[in-house]
């Protein structure tokens, strides 16, 4: 603040009563206390007097538009300039807060805000902190109503502590997900077992397999944070479904990708994309048909896999603060996407209003993208990654598992290459967030997550089979770190 004036001076220059000034102060007009009296910034007081909401306090003859809001033409936006504080945001929003929060919630919000020092904070910081603390309480209330009975505090504690370590969970991923707090994971990345493709995961028939997968997908919808993403890599296989065909001769093409899209949609996810992974050379010779180059002898190559992208959009009609001014005086707009509630700021004192005086339009999703995270270097996606993935068909080699002596060098027979989790993590998560692979295999996803300063969590059922090779993987990927700072384990 500059140009600070005493109460009497402000009132006489602006020709307003002391009551008017005090009313403005009560709704948040900033002032500086000097001994027993208050000082005000003339320009700030003027601005406070020129918006719709405060007009009631001012005598009609004093100010014209030119003193405060300029009459704008063209594309210029209306900008209110005044200083806000947490107390102001609480007071401004009190009606709404009392409607959706308990008294304890409101006290809690005030206490949380009180822990911040206002030093060096500008309006934008204050709005962001207020919004985040408000949303935390909204979230806690939601969790109280949505968490299931099986929530396991010990497990959730294991997941949430020691943010620099990979979390290794041994057990069945459905069993794991059931015990996890709702909306506590920011990204899921996986490649599930491809039905009976490997000896260590087997099902009687395709129906049973898909039912098991559906249970996991359903539970993961609850566990995934709202407006977040699951990247799901799966191949269309050649096998016996043991339903339509059930003889050893009955192998057929089984379009797992198509089946999974349907299941994800039925469990509430939005299908967003199917990126085709072109794996290059075909490993088998089956499609060559012994060189018989005649009609109907030709068979599929199967040298691609799907990288399916799904969004979770749980429609949430709880109001969220305007990201510009922190007001909860917002009206529901249309849903910008199915399940994504949009809002429009109705606060006439909002810092940013359009030329025709409409407020900011926003949603939880756009706020997450534009305001709640630092869009700075650490979250910037490298040009090389964008270039590689800005296409529908992406070519990169599968992991070579067999060395020239015919030995499996990785200890796991179905790892996916780094490329997939790398893209998923860079594209769909921020530094510090929790990333879960419910079929972790050789832990490729959690390893990449840790490398890029996210928290990698993996669940794997075959502990006996894979533990040694997984630990070896950790050591070779983080050779400069002490073993006990790389990962920690949990048995379900
Ligand atoms: C295709 S592999 C995943 C490969 C992994 N993306 C990698 O890079 O190593 C599937 C893994 O899921 C594991 N698995 C199968 N069913 C499971 C279940 N119900 N819970 C946890 N893990 C399971 C298998 O043991 C296997 O390691
Ligand atoms: Zn606003």
pLDDT tens digits along 292-341:
888 887 777 889 999 999 999 999 999 999 999 999 999 998 777 889 99
Residue nearest to atom 18 of ligand 1 (CA): 172
Give residue 405's pLDDT: 59
Atom of ligand 1 minimally distant from the CA of 194: 1
Give residue 388's pLDDT: 96
CA of 483 to the centre of ligand 2 (A): 49
| Residue 197 confidence (pLDDT) above 90 | no
Q: Which residues have C-beta atoms less than 6 Å from ligand 1? A: 172-173, 191-193, 200-201, 412, 414-416, 439, 441-442, 444, 459-462
What span, in angstroms and rounded, lies between the C-alpha atoms of 436 and 354?
A: 41
Residue range 117-143: mean pLDDT, rounded? 90
Per the CB < 8 A criterion, the answer to whether 159 and 479 are in contact is no
What span, in angstroms and rounded, lies between the C-alpha atoms of 238 and 119?
A: 64
Residue nearest to atom 13 of ligand 1 (CA): 439
* Residue of 203, 424, 461 to test ligand 1 pocket, by largest number of atoms within 8 Å of CB: 461
pLDDT bracket for residue 81 (50, 70, 90): low
Mean residue pLDDT across the chain: 86
Task: Among 8-22, 81-95, 236-250, 443-457, name the one with the lowest average pLDDT.
Answer: 236-250
Give residue 72's pLDDT: 39
Give residue 73's pLDDT: 41
Residue nearest to atom 7 of ligand 1 (CA): 415
CA distances from 231 to 152, 173, 223, 239, 294 (A): 26, 16, 15, 24, 40
pLDDT bracket for residue 411 (50, 70, 90): low
| Residue 244 confidence (pLDDT) above 50 | yes
Say which ligand is closest to the CA of 350.
2
**Half-sphere exposure (CA, 13 Å, Cβ side) for 37?**
10
Residue nearest to atom 17 of ligand 1 (CA): 461
Say which ligand is closest to the CA of 131.
2
Give residue 203's pLDDT: 92
Residue range 371-390: mean pLDDT, rounded? 90
Give residue 283's pLDDT: 67
pLDDT bracket for residue 64 (50, 70, 90): very low
Query: 4 φ, ψ to 5°?
Result: -80, 130
| Residue 414 confidence (pLDDT) above 90 | no
pLDDT bracket for residue 282 (50, 70, 90): confident
Per the CB < 8 A criterion, the answer to whether 154 and 176 are in contact is no
pLDDT bracket for residue 60 (50, 70, 90): very low
Q: Is the dihedral of CA 319, 320, 326, 331 positive or negative?
A: negative
CA of 397 to the centre of ligand 1 (A): 20
Per the CB < 8 A criterion, the answer to whether 355 and 77 are in contact is yes
Question: Which pTM was predicted?
Answer: 0.83
What span, in angstroms and rounded, lies between the C-alpha atoms of 187 and 456?
A: 10
pLDDT tens digits along 88-112:
899 999 999 999 999 999 999 999 9
* Residue of 414, 466, 473 to test ligand 1 pocket, by largest number of atoms within 8 Å of CB: 414
pLDDT bracket for residue 248 (50, 70, 90): low
Say which ligand is closest to the CA of 351.
2
pLDDT bracket for residue 55 (50, 70, 90): very low
| Residue 342 confidence (pLDDT) above 90 | yes
Say which ligand is closest to the CA of 410.
1
CA-closest candidate to residue 230, choices 452, 378, 425, 458: 425
| Residue 413 confidence (pLDDT) above 70 | no
């Amino acid at each position: 603040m500059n140009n600070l004036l005493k109460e009497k001076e402000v009132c006489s220059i602006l020709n307003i009563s002391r009551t008017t000034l005090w009313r403005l102060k009560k709704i948040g007009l900033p002032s500086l206390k000097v001994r027993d009296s208050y000082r005000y910034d003339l320009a700030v007081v003027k601005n406070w007097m020129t918006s719709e909401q405060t007009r009631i306090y001012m005598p009609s003859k004093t100010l014209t538009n030119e003193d405060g809001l300029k009459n704008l033409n063209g594309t210029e936006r209306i900008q209110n300039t005044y200083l806000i504080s947490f107390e102001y945001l609480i007071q401004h929003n009190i009606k709404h807060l009392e409607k959706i929060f308990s008294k304890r919630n409101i006290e809690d919000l005030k206490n949380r805000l009180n822990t911040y020092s206002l030093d060096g904070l500008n309006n934008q910081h204050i709005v962001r902190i207020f919004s985040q603390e408000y949303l935390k309480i909204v979230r806690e209330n939601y969790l109280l109503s949505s968490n299931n009975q099986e929530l396991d505090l010990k497990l959730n504690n294991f997941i949430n502590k020691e943010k620099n370590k990979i979390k290794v969970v041994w057990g069945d991923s459905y069993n794991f997900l059931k015990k996890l707090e709702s909306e506590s994971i920011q990204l899921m990345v996986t490649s599930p077992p491809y039905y009976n493709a490997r000896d260590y995961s087997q099902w009687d028939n395709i129906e049973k397999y898909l039912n098991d997968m559906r249970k996991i997908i359903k539970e993961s919808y609850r566990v995934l944070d709202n407006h977040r993403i699951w990247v799901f890599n799966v191949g269309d296989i050649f096998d016996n479904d043991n339903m339509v065909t059930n003889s050893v001769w009955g192998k057929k093409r089984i379009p797992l990708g198509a089946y999974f899209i349907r299941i994800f949609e039925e469990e509430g996810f939005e299908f967003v994309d199917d990126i085709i992974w072109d794996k290059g050379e075909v490993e088998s010779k089956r499609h060559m048909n012994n060189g018989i180059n005649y009609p109907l002898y030709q068979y599929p190559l199967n040298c691609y896999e799907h990288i399916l992208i799904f969004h979770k959009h749980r429609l949430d009609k709880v109001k969220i603060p305007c990201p510009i001014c922190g007001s909860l005086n917002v009206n529901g707009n249309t849903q910008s996407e199915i399940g994504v509630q949009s809002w429009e700021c109705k606060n006439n004192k909002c810092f940013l209003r359009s030329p025709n005086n409409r407020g900011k339009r926003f949603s939880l999703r756009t706020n997450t993208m534009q305001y709640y995270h630092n869009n700075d270097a650490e979250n910037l996606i490298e040009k090389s990654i964008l270039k590689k993935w800005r296409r529908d068909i992406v070519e990169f080699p599968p992991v070579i598992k067999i060395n020239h002596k015919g030995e499996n060098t990785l200890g796991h027979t179905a790892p996916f290459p780094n490329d997939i989790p790398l893209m998923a993590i860079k594209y769909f998560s921020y530094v510090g967030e929790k990333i879960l692979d419910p079929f972790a295999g050789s832990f490729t996803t959690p390893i990449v997550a840790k490398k890029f300063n996210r928290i990698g969590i993996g669940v794997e059922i075959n502990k006996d089979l894979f533990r040694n090779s997984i630990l070896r993987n950790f050591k070779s990927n983080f050779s400069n770190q002490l073993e006990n700072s790389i990962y920690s384990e949990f048995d379900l």
